[in-house]
Amino acid sequence: MNSPREHKYQTRVVWSGGAHGPTKTYAGYSREHTIEAAGKPLLTGSADPAFRGDATHYNPEELLVAALSACHLLTYLALCAREGIAVVSYIDEASGTMSETGGTGKFASAVLRPQVEIDDERVERAMALHDVASTECFIAKSVNFPVTHEPSVRRSGVRA
């Protein structure tokens, strides 16, 4: 029997907004923070503007949707590569919906909308691999809300 392999991930989140003043009032403190991982560039984050954050920085909700989208992308590309389907381009216009009730919120759903171009005649198989990617994506399997997908696949050079 195979024992499970574990993969560990470590980040460091530093509240950089403290330089603008302490958290004396809800309205008065900065939500700015940095997200770090060893050997990678800093990512500046904030809260969603609805929660007094800075719209020019990524918020955790956007990063969650991006993680779902990127995981589907990487899973899909691996599946296509294993079957010899040449993906030429991939763009996803992903979205997520969070519901807020009683001062707290939770994600209700996310929708991935990958638009894929392939240099291959197996368009139907390439479409079907989105279903496989959906079930194999590590991040989507880890959340407690539905993550659906509305993919489109077309052959390179063929306009719909």
Query: pLDDT-based confidence at 26, cuts 50/70/90?
Result: confident
Average pLDDT, integer, range 70-81: 97
Query: Residue 97's pLDDT band (boundaries 50, 70, 90)?
Result: very high
Does position 159 have pLDDT exceeding 60, yes or no? no
Q: Are 98 and 110 in contact (CB under 8 A)?
A: no
Distance CA 153, CA 123 (A): 6
User: In 3-state terms, what secondary structure has residue 87?
Assistant: strand
List, in sequence order, every residue forming a beta bridge with 43; answer none if it has no partner.
35
DSSP labels, 29-58:
S---EEEE-TTS--EEE---GGGT--TTSB
Q: Which of 84, 91, 75 is nearest to 130 (CA)?
A: 75
Closest Cα to residue 66, out of 45, 87, 88?
45
Structure tokens at 117: 């171009």
35-62 pLDDT, tens digit each: 999 999 999 999 999 899 899 999 999 9
CATH topology for the 60-155 domain: GMP Synthetase; Chain A, domain 3 (3.30.300)
Q: Is the pLDDT of residue 90 over 60?
A: yes
Q: What is the pLDDT of residue 126?
A: 97
- Residue 158's pLDDT is 60
Task: Compute the distance between CA of residue 42 and CA of residue 13 in angstroms, rounded to an integer.
Answer: 10
DSSP state of 125: H
The mean pLDDT of the chain is 92
Q: How far apart are CA 30 and CA 46, in angstroms?
A: 8
Taking the domains of the chain in order of start, what are their residue ranges? 1-58, 60-155
Least confident window among 70-74, 98-102, 135-139, 148-152: 98-102
Q: What pTM, to 2 d.p., does this model score?
A: 0.90
CA distance 150 to 111: 7
